[in-house]
Structure 1
Amino acid sequence: MTTDVVSGKRILTTLVVMGISEGLRSIVTVSETSQRLMRFSLMLLRIFLVVIAAALPLAAQFRADDPYPRIHDPSTVVTEGGEAWCLSTGVGIHLLHREADGRWKREAPLYREYPAWHKVEVPENKEHLWAPDIIRLKDKWFIYYSVSSFGSNHSAIGLVTGKTLDPKSKDYGWKDEGVVIRSRRPDRFNAIDPAVILDEGKLWMSYGSFWEGIFLIELNPDTGLRKSDDAPLKLAMNPEIEAPFIHKHDGWYYLFVNWGKCCRGVDSTYEIRVGRSKTITGPYLDKDGTDMKDGGGSVFLGTQERFIGPGHASIFNEKGKEWLVHHYYDKDRRGRSDLRMLPLTWKDGWPVVE
């Protein structure tokens, strides 16, 4: 909870309780012992109300000057009906849209009931679905997401499709399309953190977390599912790597990844790294010419003052202007994860944030 919110609610609580106290004293004549009991009771009431105020849901704690919501692992931002939409990690997959005043509104989660295969594939999953990504193919939205648990590569990437993101539309609804890819021991990869890109008629999905790094598979653009059982192609490696995203710009393919650890609030060590290639399948080299499969990756964005551990990058093009979409851990808010969008430009063939 922000300091301003806590302070404001404490002041309001104190004034209300003091008013009650003075009113009671002015109309009630009691013994000295009773007065002491009354003062003690009112003191307890003050403490109780302050504790209640401090326990208000985080959803009510956004600062008036802050348009960005609490979020983790934001998807690619897309547009429908003139509005921007975004998905994120959470129970049922969180769905948000940006309103006319620039603020983001959280809608009901996509899933109310999970497909049976979730518990069959990953019985350890705690109902949080991780790191979704989204793409429009023909007349449908294809949403990819992760079913997993911390510290394990017993994971699966699922797919759900629907005609619209707008819950108010008569066409709103989602269809489970099943498993895209799964991982188990002794697989070299962890099937989480999907990111999809349509390139020259071919649909690709990068994914991966820790284990042996970031991998790439081709998908069927008609079904959104895996095109073949060919071995996944390795793109990048680091002992602590995840959250890939591929973006094409001026004939180059740019692979963004995260190094470090997430999900530790102000102690998170996430940083975004990047390499580029002339083909989507690699090799991706950093600014020094080191292959990302060999541990290469130029630092693109790291911790800056209150903005700790930036991660899970994607790029949103709005009216010809590009934005870097990511989350970070806010030092001024006890390390909670928030959405952030920074203007993105290009210099000497590499991305730069303003």
Structure 2
Amino acid sequence: MNLQYSFTLALLQAAAVYGYANPGACSGACNIHDPTLIQDADGTYYRFSTGGGISYASASSIEGPWTGRGSVLPSGSSIDNSGKNDPWAPDVQKVGDLYHVYYSVSTFETQISSIGLATSETMEEGTWTDRGSIGVDSKEGDQYNAIDANLLIDGNTNYMIFGSFWQNIFQVTLNGDATSSTSTPVNVAFEPAGTHPVEGAYLYKYGDYYYLFYSWGSCCKYDQGMPAAGEEYKIKVCRSSSPTEGFVDANGVACTEGGGTVVLESHGNVYGPGGQGVYTDPKLGPILYYHYVDTTIGYADSQKLFGWNVIDFSSGWPSV
């Protein structure tokens, strides 16, 4: 571990003792929404995000400087949906020899939605192939909304979780090359109260447990109207010894019955953190990454920033 990473890790761990750590440093292209993170074989970081046909950037360090690399789907998606020209909420994973970017095609606050897939061998601009829908779709009246996909590869099984509001988070299994669904969606998380504000889940295995991270609350358009205090985005988690069922929070409340332990919420100048994922950094270990509003800068969606923190799992529950 080099000196820069050692110093950064020490600062973040020390801050966590006294409360939520501030986001790690970011330079370059840091204004993003719904980030997802991976590294290539050379250790270069690639970060994909909502907007611009799934725009992406690269950097030699998670701190940056982040440099724009272009768009995964510059002409939009091939999926027949009114939102096809603005795919969003990407999830990047390495499946075999291919990089997979799963994306959502929908329009805000509707259920007519699909999860699509683009693949590339190198992640270079212009090399992405749009494969269209993976067969996870929704229509008005369904229990779920087919957006916010995340893939967990666990042994020989590909688990995909997805969903937003309605009855919240569902799971399917995908085929061997993770290109299409092979099962009926099963509900794994539900907030029965209010507007059911649960979305953007991310399933991460650490030790003996599977951790279901998700965003809770009002995500967007804060500059047009602020939610009531405490109703803004925050990151919660449940865990289970199974990847498919039995997720509970730290108090033992089932995630399908409104359970959820807060991992990160508004603090200091940080407001509405969410749209998260978890990445196992080879130098820093597990990293929670997300977008957030810096209240000293502005509340518009276009002003949201890339945030990240080292995760401490020493208690059996993630903290930053």
Match of 1:103 among 48, 65, 78: 65
State the alpha-carbon separation in 1 of the partners of residues 261 and 173 from structure 2.
26
Contact 2:27 / 2:64 at 8 angstroms: preserved in 1? no
1:245 corresponding residue in structure 2 = 202
SS at match of 1:304: coil
Change (3 A) 1:342 1:67: farther
The alpha-carbon deviation at position 176 of structure 1 amounts to 1.7
Gaps of 5+ in 2: 1-24
1:173 corresponding residue in structure 2 = 127
* Higher share in helix: 1
The alpha-carbon deviation at position 112 of structure 1 amounts to 2.4
State the alpha-carbon separation in 2 of the partners of residues 339 and 330 from structure 1.
10
2:188 corresponding residue in structure 1 = 235
State the alpha-carbon separation in 1 of the partners of residues 77 and 28 from structure 2.
34
SS at match of 1:226: coil
Contact 1:183 / 1:191 at 8 angstroms: preserved in 2? yes
Alignment length, in residue pairs? 280
Contact 1:77 / 1:325 at 8 angstroms: preserved in 2? no
User: After superposition, what is the alpha-carbon deviation per residue over 1:233-280, rounded to whole angstroms, capped at 9, x for unaligned?
Assistant: 101012111000011011100000111011123636001110100000
* More RCO (CA 8 Å, sep 6+): 2
1:338 corresponding residue in structure 2 = 305
Where does 1:1-354 land on structure 2 (aligned, <5 Å)? 66-67=27-28, 69-99=30-60, 102-117=64-79, 120=80, 122-123=81-82, 125=83, 127-167=85-125, 173-180=127-134, 181-227=136-182, 230-238=183-191, 239-265=196-222, 267=226, 269-321=232-284, 322-335=286-299, 336-353=303-320
User: After superposition, what is the alpha-carbon deviation per residue over 1:183-233, rounded to whole angstroms, capped at 9, x for unaligned?
Assistant: 002210000000111001111110000011100000013252112xx3201
The alpha-carbon deviation at position 313 of structure 1 amounts to 1.5
Question: With structure 2 as the length reference, what TM-score do the two structures score?
Answer: 0.83
2:11 corresponding residue in structure 1 = none
Gaps of 5+ in 1: 1-63
Question: With structure 1 as the length reference, what TM-score do the two structures score?
Answer: 0.75
The alpha-carbon deviation at position 333 of structure 1 amounts to 1.1
2:110 aligned partner, one-letter code: S
1:166 aligned partner, one-letter code: E
Report percent identity of matched pairs.
Answer: 31
Contact 2:78 / 2:84 at 8 angstroms: preserved in 1? no
Structure whose alpha-carbon radius of gyration is higher: 1
2:66 aligned partner, one-letter code: W
Contact 2:75 / 2:85 at 8 angstroms: preserved in 1? no
Shifted more, 202-211 versus 75-84: the winner is: 75-84
2:295 aligned partner, one-letter code: K
Contact 1:265 / 1:337 at 8 angstroms: preserved in 2? no
